[in-house]
Amino acid sequence: IIGSWIETGKEQAAMIAGRSADPEFLANIREIANQYHPELYADIIRAYHFGPNFLVELEMVLPETYQLRESHDIGMGLQHKIEDLDRVERAFVHIDYQERPYDEHDENSWPNEYYEKVRGSPRQKSAKCRPSVE
């Protein structure tokens, strides 16, 4: 009995800690997303345990010619479709007009021109990179 409790505790701790979803679950989400709209396709799909269910992040791509209203409505429709799945607690859909070869959540991976566009100024060298002045 104690061994069973320990195994159950480990499983629950992994879920609480935000363990990533298995590849099969992610593939299913990608398939649903890619079939949702003829001009919409999935760039990046992430899913993390949020208790027994999943928190799902979808980075989707639509042609840049779409108006904001259209893009928003397509994204909201997809969000609700994903949230209707039994194992999904919450879904977040981000619509972009192109794939990104870098992680938008990690400033260190951004190209300099993107950094300047988003931050409004050139990237500053970190204190570690500056030569010491004595």
* Residue type (1 letter), 24: E
* Residue type (1 letter), 128: K
Residue 36 lies in a domain: yes
Which segments of 19-128 does DSSP mark as H helices, in order?
23-36, 68-83, 112-119
Q: What is the CATH number for 37? A: 3.30.70.1350
For 86-129, write each residue's pLDDT tens digit: 999 999 999 999 998 888 888 889 999 989 998 999 988 764 44
27 has a pLDDT exceeding 70 = yes
Give the DSSP letter string of 90-116: EEEEEEESS--SS-TT-GGGS-HHHHH
Residue 108 lies in a domain: no
Domain span holding position 48: 2-99
pLDDT of residue 59: 97
Are the beta carbons of 29 and 22 closer than 8 angstroms?
Answer: no
How many domains in the chain?
1
Residue 119 lies in a domain: no
pLDDT of residue 9: 58
pTM of the model: 0.76
